[in-house]
Structure 1
Amino acid sequence: MIVPARLVHWLRPLARHLPESIRRPLRRWYRAHAPAAGVDDPAYLARLAEETSIFADQEDVHDLPPIFHYWSNRFLRPQLEAFGFSHPDAFFAHYLASAYADAQPARGHARFASLGCGNCDTEVRVAGLLVARGIEDFTIDCVDINEAMLARGRQLASEAGVSKQIVAAKGDFNDWRPAIRYDAIIANQSLHHVVNLEGLFAAIDAALRPEGRFVTSDMIGRNGHMRWPEAMEIVHEYWRELPRGYRWNVQLRRHEELLEYWDCSSSGFEGIRAQDILPLLLARFEFELFIGYGNLVDPFIDRSFGPHFDANAPWDRDFIDRVHARDEAEMLAGRITPTHMMAVMRRRPYDGPRLHRAGLPAHACVRPATA
């Protein structure tokens, strides 16, 4: 039996009020009976309208509270530096420079694409880093569904002096059909907005040159950016230590005595299929690099509760340090899996280097289906 999309669209608001113990089996049943999402599906079009509206006026989609930057500089940055870069922009620039070098002997000009680029702010900064290295003969085709954001991207590129390198074009990555082949394709925090992951990954595979790279930084935790039960149990241990004022959800404007489940994918495409990203990538590509990180610490440094923490206060810093240490121990023990990744993938066959954090290769970071 196939579930009509219009019926699902009508029932979804009612289902949000059901307890998680009922919603979970309902979601499993729906996935088994739902039709494949398509760009002409009414439910998809409704979500697309929501997504476009949400981001139309967001000039900074990566704004995070100071406590996030304390954590990332103290703990994440050293992990990245072990692989030759110190932050996400440098990560993308590092691997686009490698792709550029591979393109030089045969073609000279390198062609890159960025999928779900939003305001093109990352792409503009990465282009600037490449130009600063003396690499100028390249183009980044920036693809996004939101024309308002693309317009901001064109303005940013002009102001940064990289208009020659940045080409912003409207397109839906759920139905992406490139007409050319690329030396590298990047996706920065955009895959967790994709419904048709299978179609997109097939298109990327087909669009990459044989030596091309697929470079991404993204979320790979539970759909809707929720915690899996085994992680939520540990988060609640630390949650009980929080002062009452720290338990106010800034975004949802509600007090949470214990952190509650909130499915961000209930509107728009936020985290719509996050948990499927890594398994599907493993099924299609080979990993040149995989860096998995973060899980338990996420709720304490995000936009909902992170603003309560003082990045200069000893108790706050010590609390984050302790949660991070537990995070690392639980991931390395295999009891929880990372919710974030930075990865570089190659088309098959691939027999080059394979880099990852000790004890955390990509295949070990997929949550077992039996969990």
Structure 2
Amino acid sequence: MSDRGPGYEQRLARERETFAGQVEVHGNLPPSAHHWSERHTRPKLEALGVPSIEELIVGEIAERAERLDRDVVVLSLGSGNGDQELGWLRTLAAAGQHNVRLRLLELNPDMQARAEASARELGVADRVELLTADFNTWRADTAHDVVVGYQALHHVLDLEHLYGQIRAGLDPSGVLVVHDMIGRNGHRRWPEALEVIDRIWATLPPRLRRNAMTGAVDEQFVDIDCAADGFEGIRAQDVLPVLLDHLHPSLFFPYGNVIDPFVDRIYGPGFDLAEPADVRLLDHLGTLDDTLVDLGVVSPTHLIGLFHPTEQPLRVHGSRTPERSVRDTSVVDPAGRVSFRPGGTTGDRLVRGAGVVTGRMNGVAHDDWAAPSVEFPLLTTAAVGALELRTFVPDDSADHGSVTIAVDGVPVAKADVGPGLREQVVPVAIDAHRQVRLSFDADWSITAGSGADRRTLAYILVGLRLLER
């Protein structure tokens, strides 16, 4: 990806701003996350000979420190404040291994300053080198024995460039240690996973649907796009397949998917581990999550692994191989179903004509109010020549404007939407038997009324008919 696209500098500034004041980066997970990890993740890792991710990293460094008669060069990608990395140095020094040199690659100068201060305070500044650079433009300038990607790769836009530089700068016997996110871009749910989560959501008491960020009880699960204005999850779904194009795994442990919202920082704090019913629910969710991943119904969203310049013997958990863990992004829903929409109708009621909805209709609420951005995963049953769009905006609202219609992200037409009921036919050409992403982006929004309804809306989508060419 040589062209980083429009808005790149703004995203870069947002990334610096977001992390400038963060002293604690990898902590602050709710108790529900630790409970799930101990019950459902740690035992599987231990069966593969890995006590923990920290011990995996330190072990890879220690093995080389014992074997080599020179400094072992360790590169940490997105090192933040350097607290974890300096902890590795302390652990190795306590074991009598001092021939380790750390290189901390980090975009944020404020975090680098904190790392530098900590290294001086610990008396290891001479073993630490600070590299303040952007992942997307950084170039390897020396050989590395161990490269660590700890929750950093899902922030990278130009994965091809970064992986190429890692491979070019990796010693022939070197290793890339990965602990990262490999789910959908922006950490959104794929339709098949969202359907399961929505069904679970409908059974939860209000306290388990309380959003820790807003304080509101979310009647429906809020599938946030975390990459909307920054680099969080910007190409998460490409982290694994592009990595496999560049390096070879020797340890491969993918895990998690449906469990994610119940153990994250937004909804995870609602679980009380002193309440037996909450513990039972977490255990049920963990078992369901494992089963869905093992069956291949959903693809994993997390990865712990070791990767090398050359092919190696491979350790995996059960059938969770690299090949089965890559989500096929060419289809919207692998099962080809119209996904469940709690409290409302399926896409078959809104969408008619020469196409069917094959997955979650993102941005359309249960009462058919449309958000400023709406997305329809469609399969055309015949060649489409135009769209018949029916919309409604309440007469007492003065807000209206244009809606940009796009096919697979490429704008193809515009429609005018205003107060009252409007019906219009817009020329849009789509070939027959195509799986496409049809999206509508309004250039205005209506803020919902006061009270519990805090949605940002645009108009009511009354109907959409695909007209044959």
Q: Deviations over 1:127-176 (max 9, x none)?
A: 22222222111111001010111111123334444434332221111111
More strand by share: 2
Normalising by the residue count of structure 1, what TM-score does the alignment of the two structures yield?
0.85
Name the counterpart of 2:320. 360
Match of 1:215 among 168, 172, 177: 177
Q: Give the match for residue 71 of structure 1.
A: 36
Q: Is the aligned partner of 1:124 residue 2:86? A: yes
Alignment of 1:274-285 (within 5 A): 274-285=236-247
In the alignment, what sits opposite 1:325? 287
Tell me how far apart the structure 2 counterparts of residues 184 and 260 of structure 1 sit (CA, whole Å). Answer: 38
What is the TM-score normalised by the length of structure 2? 0.68
Matched, 1:90 2:55: yes
Superposition deviation, residue 253 in structure 1: 4.7
1:43 lines up with 2:3 in the alignment = no
CA distance 1:262–1:324, change in 2 (3 Å): same
| Corresponding position of 2:133 | 171
Matches of 1:171 and 1:366 in 2, distance apart?
Answer: 29
Residue 228 of structure 1: how far off its partner (Å): 0.5
What is residue 346 of structure 1 aligned with on the other side? 308
TM-aligned CA deviation for residue 188 of structure 1: 0.6
**Partner SS for 1:359:** coil
Residues in 2 aligned to 1:196 and 1:296: alpha-carbon distance in whole angstroms: 28
Distance across 1 between alignment mates of 2:256 and 2:123: 35
Tell whether the 8 Å contact from 2:253 to 2:303 is kept in structure 1 after alignment: yes
**Deviation at residue 256 of structure 1 after TM alignment:** 1.9
**Larger proportion of helix:** 1
AA paired with 1:91? L
Q: Which residue of 1 aligns with 2:25?
A: 61
Q: Kindly, what percent of the aligned residue pairs are identical? A: 37
Distance (whole Å) between structure 1 residues aligned to residue 162 and residue 100 of structure 2:
23
Q: Contact 1:89–1:125 at 8 Å: present in 2 too?
A: no
Paired with 1:282 and 1:178, the residues of 2 have a C-alpha distance of 20
Q: Distance in 1 between matches of 2:48 and 2:195?
A: 32
Q: Where does the alignment leave 5 or more consecutive residues of structure 1 unmatched?
A: 1-34
Within a 5 Å distance, the mapping from 1:140-155 to structure 2 comes to 140-155=102-117
Query: What 5-or-longer segments of structure 2 have no aligned partner?
Result: 335-469
Cα RMSD over matched residues?
Answer: 1.7
| Cα 1:195–1:300 shift into 2, 3 Å | same
Letter of the 1:136 counterpart? H
User: For residues 301-350 of structure 1, what are the alpha-carbon distances to aligned partners after superposition, in whole Å with 9 as ceiling and x for unaligned?
Assistant: 100011111122211111110011011111111111110001110103x2
Quote the offset at 1:66 in angstroms: 1.4
Q: Does 1:110 align with 2:60?
A: no
Higher relative contact order (CA 8 A, sep 6+): 1
Identify the range of structure 1 (245-254 vs 166-175) with the bigger mean alpha-carbon deviation. 245-254
CA distance in 1 between partners of 2:47 and 2:62 (Å): 18
Deviates more, 1:92-101 or 1:144-153: 92-101
Letter in 1 for 2:60: Y
In 2, Cα distance between equivalents of 1:355 and 1:175? 33
